[in-house]
């Protein structure tokens, strides 16, 4: 039986005292990829911000590594949680190598995960392509050898082959290294390819959950609900 590294019980979350997410219950086991799907405005990013400690919950309990916590993001990061945000969180004026050092992770580990970064170590991050910047963001998070990894829209605006490369690294981190992953992802079919469990959120509430194969049978309904609310993003290499 897998152990849950991250647990949310009865979480309500939002802004200025107004909840967007209501009575949320979820768990992220070690070595599993849990994918959170839903249309724009469903509360997915708010959920990740709250679980990371970047946004205080309005109600409910959060457990990280078995310990109840209300700690902020920087404290949870010290306790093994990494968060890759929707915005590519790289320091544009710093080189790739400097970005990795700032992340306080194992640089050799980062290059092992993404060998594509090796010839780019001296290049400023602002000169990288969108895909390379996202590889750097994910590499920096994984180089810290986290126990829990939260990821918000990893593939936003990226070409399909880059998306596959990034999501394969996420799956490897879970299945080979035992990381518990909670992934918000816009590409439903690609997300289901790496997911072990799926949650579908609408209007701040989980409306469908289960193992991937069980949810896959409702793929057409999922894509209709999910993609109809999202405008097309520009594709970057």
What pLDDT digit, counting tens, does each position of 72-108 carry? 999 999 999 999 997 778 999 999 999 999 988 899 9
Using DSSP's 3-state secondary structure scheme, residue 125 falls into helix
- 8 Å CB contact between 2 and 29: yes
> What are the angstrom distances between the C-alpha of 83 and each of 51, 131, 146, 225?
10, 18, 10, 26
Q: What is the reported pTM?
A: 0.91
Sign for the CA dihedral angle at 140, 144, 147, 148 comes to negative
> Would 143 be classed as within a structural domain?
no
Torsion, CA 28, CA 29, CA 32, CA 33, rounded to 10: 0
pLDDT value for 83? 96
Q: Is residue 136 part of a domain?
A: no
**Is residue 12 in some structural domain?**
yes
Q: Above 90 in pLDDT, residue 228? A: no
Residue 195 has pLDDT above 50, yes or no: yes
d(CA 16, CA 41): 17
Cβ contact 67:5 at 8 Å? no
Q: Which domain holds residue 36?
A: 4-87+150-227
Q: Is the distance from CB of 59 to CB of 85 less than 8 angstroms?
A: no
Does residue 216 form part of some domain? Answer: yes
pLDDT band at 225 (very low <50, low <70, confident <90, very high): low
Give the dihedral sign, CA 9/13/17/20.
negative
DSSP 74-99: HHHHHTTEEEE-SS----TTSBHHHH
CATH of the domain at 198: 3.40.50.300
Residue 206 lies in a domain: yes
Residue 97 lies in a domain: no
Count of structural domains within the chain: 1
DSSP-derived letter for residue 187 is -
Length of the chain in terms of residues written: 237
Q: Determine contact, residues 132/116, Cβ cutoff 8 Å.
A: yes
Lookup result for tokens 């990034």: 166
With respect to residue 182, please indicate whether it lies within any of the assigned structural domains: yes
Tokens representing residue 236 in the block: 């970057």
The torsion of the CA quartet 75, 78, 80, 83, rounded to 10 degrees, works out to 60
Say what the pLDDT of residue 236 is.
38
Distance from C-alpha of 139 to C-alpha of 18, rounded to nearest angstrom: 35
Least confident residue range of 15-19, 22-26, 164-168, 219-223: 219-223
DSSP 31-43: T-EEEEE--TTSS
What are 224's two structure tokens?
């209709």
Lowest mean pLDDT among 45-49, 201-205, 216-220: 216-220
Residue 118 lies in a domain: no
Query: What is the average pLDDT value for the chain, to the nearest integer?
Result: 90
3 vs 30, residue with greater confidence: 30
């Amino acid at each position: 039986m897998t152990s849950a590294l991250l647990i949310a019980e009865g979480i309500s979350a939002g802004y200025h005292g107004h909840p967007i997410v209501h009575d949320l219950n979820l768990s992220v086991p070690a070595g599993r990829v849990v994918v959170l799907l839903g249309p724009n405005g469903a509360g997915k990013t708010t959920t990740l911000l709250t679980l990371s400690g970047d946004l205080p919950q309005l109600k409910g309990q959060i457990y990280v590594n078995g310990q109840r916590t209300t700690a902020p993001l920087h404290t949870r990061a010290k306790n093994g949680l990494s968060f890759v945000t929707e915005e590519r969180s790289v320091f544009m004026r710093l080189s790739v190598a400097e970005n990795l050092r700032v992340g306080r992770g194992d640089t050799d580990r980062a290059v092992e995960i993404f060998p594509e970064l090796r010839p780019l170590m001296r290049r400023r991050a602002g000169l990288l392509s969108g895909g390379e910047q996202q590889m750097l963001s994910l590499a920096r998070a994984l180089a810290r050898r986290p126990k829990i990894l939260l990821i918000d829209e990893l593939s936003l605006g990226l070409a399909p082959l880059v998306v596959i490369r990034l999501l394969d690294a996420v799956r490897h981190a879970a299945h080979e290294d035992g990381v518990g992953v909670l992934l918000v992802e816009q590409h439903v079919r690609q997300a289901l390819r790496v997911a072990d469990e799926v949650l579908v959120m609408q209007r701040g509430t989980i409306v469908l959950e289960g193992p991937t194969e069980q949810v896959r049978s409702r793929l057409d309904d999922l894509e209709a609900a999910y993609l109809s609310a999202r405008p097309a993003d520009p594709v970057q290499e």
